Amino acid sequence: MVDQLLVAHGITKQFGGIVALSELSFEVAPGEAVGIVGPNGAGKTTLFNCLLGLEELDGGTVVFDGVRIDELPVWRRGRLGIGRTYQRMELFSGMTVADHLLVAEQAHAGTFRLWRDLLHRGGPTPGELAHVEQVLALLGLEGLADRPVEGLGLGHARLVELGRAMMGSPRLLMLDEPSSGLDATDTIRLAGILNDVRRAEGTAVVLVEHDLHLVETVVDRLCVLDFGRMLATGPVDDVLADTEVRRAYLGIGS
């Protein structure tokens, strides 16, 4: 096993004359949960997009499980073992909860083929169905498996997106503000499920989140970004007590 599952070194990204990320380095150990916080515009989502290949790097390297991935396409990074959710949900109307998970499982495994569906030979395998059922149970969505996603509340819809990211048994889940729009009850439930996923699957988690209570409940280590640089990293309580962090992120003076 590698000492670090994800190693990003010297990540730099510019948009025109604006430096969004400046020589930022970032690591995640196997099974570790890391929170990324910072003020709006700090570069959190840009960092996600650079790590996952949605944005091309202007400098730096990204290594996952010992393999350099910064020049690989998005789909190949996913198949190496990285799952992701988005700040803005991207679920598909007309598909059930189980359909979303099944299609994600087949896409990750490379078994989804349009021509098979057109010839009515695209039925799921027993293994694929078993994994869908396993993830539905872990997320507490068994009773909603056959419900179209457009009939779900926001809390359940967020869990469907999380479940889709979990298909293919990723070693790393990258979650971009998964509590966005949730009320306090759904956020507490989400925190419990994320902790259950880590215990059950040994999955590492990188969590971009504004809700500090969720962050404190889930993560082992906290990173604070400010203007595209790493302002502080370490145990949650230590980082939040840091004078520079309180000034930049919490708006509190020394």
Q: How far apart are CA 12 and CA 115, in angstroms?
A: 41
- pLDDT tens, position by position, 224-254: 999 999 999 999 999 988 888 887 766 655 4
Collect all residues with Cβ–Cβ distance below 8 Å to 112 and sequence separation of at least 6: 103, 106, 122
pLDDT of residue 6: 97
Please write the tens of the pLDDT for every residue from 145-169: 999 999 899 999 999 999 999 988 8
Domain 6-248 has CATH 3.40.50.11740: no
Residues near 209 by beta carbon (within 8 Å), at least 6 away in sequence: 35, 36, 37, 175, 177, 178, 179, 215
pLDDT at 251: 62
pTM of this structure: 0.86
Distances (CA, A) of 45 to 112, 168, 177, 201, 238: 29, 23, 9, 25, 24
Using DSSP, state whether 77 is helix, strand or coil: helix
